[in-house]
Each structure stands twice: as structure tokens, then as C-alpha cells.
């Protein structure tokens, strides 16, 4: 009998194939006391486990094909290798073994629990999901320790992945590490289904960049699905269908063909300008998280990068990055983009403990309203100044813009502009080149800033609307809290009014305004945003062509009139009707 399982669709596309259930047996971790005489042997056993884990990861890295889409995978594996070198994982457990006289697995568990707590308390959703990295790395070492066999290939999980022919299979697992994902993709896997993880998990990010359909968070999938069972994965809706009959199969084969045809049509839009039916040219930019994401931006031929989230540079380490590290990653992006503009956002980290690998002070009770983003940078100049210097130095190599997140008060703009002026002088004194006219812009993500956007527009060179946060703050809904997610409504009249106000303020001051929240990449909202006057969109590269299609053939003149009517409407039913009209225009 047909039945369906539901998760979160994180990489669209349909896959029809047989399941491969990955039953990884995580060893039970128990604590036992180690006699004084063999404490150093236990330390040696732990260090050997680390060495073997590194060898596994290096071996997997060598199997990554040298394609642009695989660059993400290499970056994630490198990040895991770095974690295995980092004192928080490589040294702290050694101290724990010696002090507590406990076994290596237990020491690793104590340290893992500590690090996961630190990540869980983080404000930024992307960084919060990076606790998965800790788990993946720790589990790898624990499995190696559990086999107690120096031949690392005897790690059953690793051996299984290396040996199995996974071609044409749909992988169903509890969770997948970036290394697993790479190994499998290399073997021609059709789709991924995991029981855990969210849209920002590694499986999700990698599946998207590899173009493989994926559903995450499909709880208990392995309890309901058999091994080698025919299933259909719908990576857009987040559905897994099983108990298939011929009728369902026919239907989905048809949908699959349709989707491929549509993708081929979309591909034809690559490199074509985004111009509305009435001749308005729209700028389409991309959001990136890792320098390696820049390859995907080039692939879809975006106008440039509208948001480079630099937080990843601060992850998985005990010290913030220095000027040269910042610079190296910016130069990588500049080189990949070959002359297209790049908007580098200064650090948008949460409470200050996040930058020092979790050894800092307590987290604020309400981190989303606490010391995050520009507030934190202005408080900790030793962290901020190297980034400012690096952005300025990068601007000598290509068209760079600097963007400040989470502005709430105009004084923050003045402080930043003063610091930029000081940094320029410092670079001049050091004889280093930079763009004297580096544009400095700000993100409008706080309702009060949107209301007073004209103030910000007077002193900044551009504005970018961060709707992910703007919606969270204006509707008082934690964007990562499942309990209130249903209230997260980009179409709320209050939200749309704030967006329109910001666009108007920017245009009145003669500066560009873009929108870089998730809303920009959702083609359902494209025409509404055009109607509100938006002329620059920045989004995940995978959404860019669909948005371009929605732009082509639209009529901005007509859309503006309807949008004006929409925001004058006080009747809920009429509001919904007007929204429908906009979508059809
Ligand atoms: C936003 O808030 O819309 C945004 C783009 O920034 P982030 O998602 O990184 O907070
Ligand atoms: Mg934001």
C-alpha cells in the first residue's frame, strides 16, 4: 500500500530508485577508570584514533572529483581536518584523560557535550547547525576507537561506504557527514534522505551544490523503509513515497521528465539579462557563505555577489582569523568572480563567546536581541579591525563593497565610518593599496531602522534589506523556533510596508537598495517585490534563474499600481485577492 514520509525538502528534484539503508551503529560510550600505570597508553590510544581519523578524511578528500561543485565538499572535509588539529578536540580530551583518569571515548564525549552546548547557544542559525561538525568528527574518532583495531579500514562504517556499490540508490541514513556525502556522490547516488538535519545542514548544502535531490529531518525513515525498497524522493516538497504502484510511478516519471525539461529551459536563461516586460533592468546577485560558493555564482552568471556572509571564517577555531586569512578568502572570491562586484558583509556573529571557540563568557539570555553583528564588532575592535583592513586591501584587487549587518542606530554608522577612515590612514601609512572610494552600505534588518531608513540612506552608499531578520523582529517570531514558525509571514502588511519604506528612502537619496533575505530567492514573491520598487535581488545561486524567469514578462508599471493598492487595503480578503493579482501580473 502506498504511504508517504515527510521531512524538509532541501535540494529539489525527483528521484526514483531503490533505497540503501545506512545502518551505522554508533558505539555505546561508557566511562571506566584507567589505572595510573597505563594513563599514558590511553592518551596514546586517543592520539592514534585522531591520526586514523585524519587519514580517513585525507583519503576521502583524494576521491573528490575536481569539479567546481565538489569544492564545497573539499572545504567541509578540510574544516573537519582542521577540527581534528584544533586544541579543543585534539588537546582538551588528553587533559581530561589525565585529570579524570577516564577512558579516551569518555573524555571525547565530555568535550563533545561541552562544544555542542556552546554551538547550541549560538544566535546565528548557520553557526548553530555547525554543531553537527563537532558530532561528525567526534563520532568518527569514537567509531575508530571502538573497533580497537589499528587497521583503520576496519572501521565498519567507513569500510561499508568504500566497498558498496551505491550507484542508482537512494541513501537513507540517520545523518550524513560531508565526507559520507562526497563518497556517495562519487558513486552515483540518486538522492539523500536523512532523519536529522535542517536546511542549513551539510547534507543540504552539499546536495544543493551537487544538484542531488535531498530530504532531511525525515524522522524514523529507517524504521518505515526497507532496504532495497523502491521509493520516490521529492526534494522540493520534502516527501518520500513508498509502497509504490504502477500508477504512482508513471505519474512521477512524468513529473521527473517535466522537471528536467524545465531545468533545460531555465539553463537557457544563463547569461541573459533580467529585464521586465516594460524594459526595467533588474540586478540579480548571489548570496554566498564559503569562498568556494563563488564557483556556483559564476555558473549561473549572476551580476555579482550581493551578500558574502563571512561568519564561516570564525568557525571551528579558538582565535578569530587574522587580517591575512580574511584577505586570502576575499581574494579567492574576487579571482573567481573575474571582475563582478562583491559585497562583503562584516561579521554577523552572535554573543562574543562564539569567536573564541566557546571558552568565553556566558551567552546573553536573549541572543537575538543581544550583542550580535555590528554591536559585537564595535565592542571588540581587536576582532573588527583586521576584517576592515582586509576588506579595504581586497578592494585594491576588484570591485568590493563593504556591508554592515544589523544596524539599529545611526551612531553605529558614524562609528563604522570613523573606523573606516582610520583604517584607510593606517593602510596609507603602511604603503598598502586600497580603493579610496570603497562603498560602505548597511543592512536594514531591524524595524526601527526600516522606519528611519532615510537617515541611514543619507550616510551610506547602499542599503540591503535582510528580510530574514526583519520579519523575525517585526513579527516577534524567532526565525529558528519551530513552535512559532507558522507565524513567520513575509507577506504581512507590516513587513511589506517596511520593505517599501526602505526602498523608497534609498531611491530618494539616490543610492541602490537590494534585498538579500530568503524572500529574494522565492519566485512567488518576485513580482510583489518588483511592485514595491525593488530593482536588485540577492539570493542563493540555485534560485537565480527561476527568479529571472519571473522577472521576464512582468510589468513593473502595472505591478507598482497594484502594490500601492495592496498596502492601502484594510480588508483581509481583499488583501489576499490583491496578492493573487500581483502573482499573475
Ligand atoms: C537576513 O537577515 O535577511 C540576512 C540576509 O542575513 P542573515 O540571514 O545572514 O541573518
Ligand atoms: Mg540577518
Measure the CA–CA gap between 230 and 241, rounded to whole angstroms.
Answer: 9
Q: Which of 136, 275, 149 is CA-nearest to residue 201?
A: 136
> How close is the Cα of 444 to the center of ligand 2, in Å?
9
Which ligand is nearest to the Cα of residue 311, counting in written order? 1
Q: What residue's CA is closest to ligand 1, atom 6?
A: 466
Say if residue 235 is in the same domain as residue 320.
no
Q: Do residues 472 and 555 share a domain?
A: yes
Instruction: Report CA-CA distances (Å) from 166 to 22, 188, 225, 388.
Output: 11, 7, 17, 47
CA angle 186, 242, 486 (to 5 degrees): 90
Looking at the fold, whether 48 and 86 belong to one and the same domain comes out as yes
Whether 216 and 278 share a structural domain: no
Can you give the pTM of this predicted structure?
0.72
Active-site position among 202, 326, 377, 452: 202
What pLDDT is recorded for position 270?
95
Residue 289 domain-assigned (yes or no):
yes
Q: Find all residues with CB under 8 Å of 180, minimum gap 6, and list them.
A: 22, 161, 173
Q: Quick check: is 263 in a domain?
A: no
Q: Which of 189, 217, 248 delimits the end of a domain?
A: 248
> What tens digit of pLDDT does each residue of 188-243 get?
899 999 998 877 676 777 787 778 899 999 988 999 999 999 999 999 899 999 99
Longest pairwise C-alpha distance within the chain: 82
Question: d(Cα 462, Cα 449) in Å, to the nearest integer?
Answer: 14
In a domain, 259, yes or no: no
SS3 state at 414 = helix
Residue nearest to atom 4 of ligand 1 (CA): 466
Residue nearest atom 9 of ligand 1, based on CA coordinates? 309
Q: What is the rounded end-to-end Cα distance, in angstroms, of the chain?
A: 42
Q: 368-407 b/e with 16+ CB inside 10 Å = b?
A: beebbbbbbbbebeebbbbbbbbbbbbbeebbbbbbbbbb
Radius of gyration, CA atoms only, the chain: 25
Asked if residue 357 belongs to a domain, the reply is: yes
Q: Report the pocket of ligand 1 as residue ranges, CB < 6 Å.
A: 307, 309, 348, 445, 466-469, 516-517
Identify the domain boundary among 183, 215, 248.
Answer: 248
Are 137 and 283 in the same domain? no
Per-residue pLDDT of the chain (585 residues; tens, 9 = 90+): 889 999 999 888 999 999 999 876 667 788 888 999 999 999 999 999 999 889 888 887 776 666 545 566 777 788 888 888 888 888 999 999 999 999 999 999 999 998 888 887 776 666 677 787 888 888 888 888 887 654 444 455 565 665 567 888 999 998 887 777 767 766 789 999 999 887 767 677 778 777 889 999 998 899 999 999 999 999 989 999 999 999 999 999 999 999 999 999 999 999 999 999 999 999 999 999 888 889 889 989 999 999 999 987 886 567 889 999 999 999 999 999 999 999 999 999 873 334 444 434 455 678 888 888 999 999 999 999 999 999 999 999 999 999 999 999 999 999 999 999 999 999 999 999 999 999 999 999 999 999 999 999 999 999 999 999 999 999 998 876 767 878 889 999 999 999 999 999 999 999 999 999 989 999 999 999 999 999 999 998 989 999 999 999 899 999 999 999 999 999 999 999 999 999 877
Would you say residue 76 lies in a domain?
Answer: yes
- Which of 214, 248, 282 marks a domain boundary? 248
The residues pairing with 21 across neighbouring beta strands, listed in sequence order, are: 172
Are residues 450 and 339 part of one domain? yes
C-alpha distances (whole Å) from 8 to each of 21, 123, 127, 282 are 19, 22, 19, 31
* Same domain (yes/no): 191, 90: yes
Cα–Cα distances in Å, from 236 out to 82, 178, 199, 262, 296? 33, 21, 12, 14, 20
How many CA atoms lie less than 13 Å away from 177 in the CB half-sphere? 26
Question: CA nearest 444: which of 376, 540, 511, 385?
Answer: 511
Burial of 36 (0-12, 13-18, 19+ CB in 10 A): exposed
Residue closest via CA to ligand 1's atom 8 equals 468
240 and 313, same domain (yes or no): no
Number of domains within the chain: 2
Q: How far is the CA of 466 from the centre of ligand 1 (A)?
A: 5
CA distance 218 to 47: 36
Closest CA to 534 of 545, 525, 524: 525
Q: Which residue has the cell 524595524?
A: 447
The answer to the question of residue 242 being in a domain is: yes
Exposed, middle or buried by CB within 10 Å (0-12, 13-18, 19+), for 264? exposed
The answer to whether residue 377 is catalytic is no
Mutate to test the pocket of ligand 1, among 293, 310, 349, 469 (most ligand atoms within 8 A of CB): 469
CATH code assigned at 528? 3.20.20.60
Tell whether 233 and 326 lie within a shared domain: no
H helix count then E strand count, the chain: 25, 16
What CA–CA distance (Å, rounded) separates 519 from 527? 11
What is the 3-class SS of 163-198, one letter each residue?
HCCCCCEEEEECCCCHHHHHHHHHCCCCEEEECCCC
For residue 469, the ligand 1 atom closest to its alpha carbon is: 2
| CA of residue 531 to ligand 1 center, whole Å | 22
Q: Which domain holds residue 127?
A: 3-248
Distance CA 209, CA 173 (A): 20
The answer to whether 206 and 76 have CB atoms below 8 angstroms apart is yes
Q: What's the CATH number where 219 sits?
A: 1.10.274.10
Query: Given the CA of residue 518, which atom of ligand 1 is nearest to it?
Result: 3
Residues 187 and 272 in one domain: no
Q: How many Cα neighbours within 13 Å face the side chain of 512?
A: 18
What ligand 1 atom has the least distance to the C-alpha of 311?
9
Q: Cα–Cα distance between 495 and 27 in angstroms, integer?
A: 49
What separation in Å is there between the alpha carbon of 44 and the centre of ligand 1?
44
- Asked if the structure places residue 258 within a domain, the reply is no
In 148-290, which residue ranges form alpha helices assigned H by DSSP?
156-163, 178-186, 202-210, 221-224, 246-267
Q: Which atom of ligand 1 is nearest to the CA of 465?
A: 3
Same domain for 294 and 188?
no
E strand or H helix at 56 = helix 39-63
Q: Determine whether 516 is an active site residue.
A: yes
Please check whether residues 179 and 149 belong to one and the same domain: yes
Amino acid at each position: 500500500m502506498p504511504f508517504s514520509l515527510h521531512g524538509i525538502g532541501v535540494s529539489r528534484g525527483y528521484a526514483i530508485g531503490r533505497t540503501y539503508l545506512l545502518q551505522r551503529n554508533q558505539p555505546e560510550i561508557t566511562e571506566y577508570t584507567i589505572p595510573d600505570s597505563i594513563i599514558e597508553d590511553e592518551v596514546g590510544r586517543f592520539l592514534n584514533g585522531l591520526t586514523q581519523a585524519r587519514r580517513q578524511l585525507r583519503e576521502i578528500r583524494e576521491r573528490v572529483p575536481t569539479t567546481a561543485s565538489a569544492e564545497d565538499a573539499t572545504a567541509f572535509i578540510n574544516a573537519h581536518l582542521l577540527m581534528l588539529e584544533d586544541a579543543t578536540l585534539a588537546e582538551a580530551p588528553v587533559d581530561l584523560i589525565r585529570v579524570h583518569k577516564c577512558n579516551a571515548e569518555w573524555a571525547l564525549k565530555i568535550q563533545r557535550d561541552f562544544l555542542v552546548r556552546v554551538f547550541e547557544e549560538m544566535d546565528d542559525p548557520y553557526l548553530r547547525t555547525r554543531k553537527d561538525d563537532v558530532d561528525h568528527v567526534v563520532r568518527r574518532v569514537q567509531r575508530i576507537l571502538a573497533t580497537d583495531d589499528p587497521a583503520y579500514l576496519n572501521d565498519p562504517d567507513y569500510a561499508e561506504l568504500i566497498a558498496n556499490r551505491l550507484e542508482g540508490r537512494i541513501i537513507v541514513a540517520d545523518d550524513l557527514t560531508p565526507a559520507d556525502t562526497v563518497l556517495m556522490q562519487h558513486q552515483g547516488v540518486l538522492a539523500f534522505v536523512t532523519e536529522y538535519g535542517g536546511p542549513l545542514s551539510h547534507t543540504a548544502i552539499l546536495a544543493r551544490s551537487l544538484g542531488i535531490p535531498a530530504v532531511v529531518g525525515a524522522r524514523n525513515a529507517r524504521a518505515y523503509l526497507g532496504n532495497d525498497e523502491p521509493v520516490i524522493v521529492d526534494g522540493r516538497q520534502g516527501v518520500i513515497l513508498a509502497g509504490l504502484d504502477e500508477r504512482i510511478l508513471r505519474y512521477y516519471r512524468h513529473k521527473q521528465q517535466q522537471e528536467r525539461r524545465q531545468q533545460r529551459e531555465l539553463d537557457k536563461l544563463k547569461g541573459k539579462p533580467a529585464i521586465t516586460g516594460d524594459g526595467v533592468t533588474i540586478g540579480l546577485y548571489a548570496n554566498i557563505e564559503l569562498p568556494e560558493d563563488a564557483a556556483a555564482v559564476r555558473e549561473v552568471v549572476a551580476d555579482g555577489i550581493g551578500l558574502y556572509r563571512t561568519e564561516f571564517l570564525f568557525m571551528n577555531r579558538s582565535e578569530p582569523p587574522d587580517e591575512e586569512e580574511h584577505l586570502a578568502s576575499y581574494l579567492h572570491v574576487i579571482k573567481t568572480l573575474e571582475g563582478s562586484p562583491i559585497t562583503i558583509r562584516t561579521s554577523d556573529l552572535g554573543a562574543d563567546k562564539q569567536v573564541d571557540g566557546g571558552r568565553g563568557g556566558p551567552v546573553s539570555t536573549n541572543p537575538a536581541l543581544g550583542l550580535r553583528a555590528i554591536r559585537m564588532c564595535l565592542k571588540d575592535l581587536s576582532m573588527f579591525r583586521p576584517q576592515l583592513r582586509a576588506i579595504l586591501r581586497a578592494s585594491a584587487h576588484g570591485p568590493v563593497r563593504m556591508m554592515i549587518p544589523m544596524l539599529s542606530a545611526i551612531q553605529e554608522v558614524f562609528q563604522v565610518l570613523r573606523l573606516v577612515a582610520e583604517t584607510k590612514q593606517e593602510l596609507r601609512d603602511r604603503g598598502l593599496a586600497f580603493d579610496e572610494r570603497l562603498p560602505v552600505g548597511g543592512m536594514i534588518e531591524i524595524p526601527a531602522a526600516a522606519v528611519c531608513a532615510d537617515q541611514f540612506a543619507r550616510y551610506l552608499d547602499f542599503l540591503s534589506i535582510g528580510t530574514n531578520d526583519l520579519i523575525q523582529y517585526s513579527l516577534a517570531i524567532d526565525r529558528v523556533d519551530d513552535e512559532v514558525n507558522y507565524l513567520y509571514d513575509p507577506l504581512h502588511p507590516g513587513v511589506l510596508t517596511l520593505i517599501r519604506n526602505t526602498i523608497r528612502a534609498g531611491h530618494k537619496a539616490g543610492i541602490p537598495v537590494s534585498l538579500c533575505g530568503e524572500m529574494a530567492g522565492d519566485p512567488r514573491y518576485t513580482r510583489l517585490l518588483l511592485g514595491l520598487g525593488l530593482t536588485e535581488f540577492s539570493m542563493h545561486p540555485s534560485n537565480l534563474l527561476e527568479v529571472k524567469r519571473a522577472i521576464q514578462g512582468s510589468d513593473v508599471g502595472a505591478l507598482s499600481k497594484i502594490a500601492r493598492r495592496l498596502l492601502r487595503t484594510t480588508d483581509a480578503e481583499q488583501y489576499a485577492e490583491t496578492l493573487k493579482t500581483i502573482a499573475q501580473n
